[in-house]
Amino acid sequence: MLLAELLEGLKFNRYERAAILYLARVNQANAQSICKGSRIPQGRVYSVLDELRTQGIVTLFPTSPKQYKIDNLKEALSNYIWRKQADLSCQEEQIRSVQLDLKKDEKTINPASIALYKGRAEHLAAVAALNRRAKKQILQVAPRFVGNSETRFTDLQALHRGVQLKIIIYKVTVENKTRLKECLALGAQIRSLNDARIFSLTIQDDQELLLGVQDTKLKEERMILYTRNPALLKNLKSTFYALWKQAKPVLLK
């Protein structure tokens, strides 16, 4: 299949297709060169390139003038398709769990002030719920940072809304590298802390938190405490930033 046909099938608009086709032929280029080489109107080129950056297709180099590049087109398009699939999967889950009884008291929909979740599935569902409710900031300690399609989607969704996302991981691995790249491309700040003892933690808008309370050394079942306790939130936020200072920034090309 020709690349132009593939891009049309993936629903890129004509200017996005033109930019991708041009950048696929060159190492990197500035906006003026892209305008000339792809015949994208000058008034549209920056918005087109910004959209392709958001979709994880194009990488920006903040030189003067700015340069744009597609590092690995096949990988970028594969990740683009994966995000679309994750989006549809998440929407399917939302359809299954949608609240149809509109007469129910709203108090039954709001989470309790404290809860305990067991196992990986419940933990990831709780993380995704916090991601969806976030308006300003998410602080997360995620040693493995693998997650599932729902947490990956809600991470990206939060970043698109302008939520500040700070994440501490144990290390970059084959399993989490793609997800790290996606989050970094949308402005997430990620650091690694080479300490296998770090625990899982998610703090949303200084209002809600999830804390892993099992002993990972003993390989116990995952137990996650959810709470809105202000004292715990304050102290664990301080703990997060203490770990943040020790951790090193993750830089991926």
Structure tokens at 20: 């991708």
Give me the mean pLDDT over the 173-184 stretch: 91
Structure tokens at 42: 């000058």
Question: Whole-angstrom Cα distance, residue 81 to residue 92?
Answer: 17
Give the position of tokens 């305008």: 35
Q: Do 99 and 28 contact (CB within 8 A), yes or no?
A: no
Please tell me the least confidently modeled range out of 58-72, 109-123, 124-138, 179-193: 109-123
pLDDT tens, position by position, 59-91: 988 888 889 999 888 888 888 888 777 777 666
- Secondary structure letter of residue 1 according to DSSP: -
pLDDT tens, position by position, 226-241: 999 999 999 999 999 9
pLDDT at 102 over 60: no
Domains of the chain, earliest start first = 3-71 (1.10.10.10), 113-249 (3.30.870.10)
Q: What is the pLDDT of residue 107?
A: 43
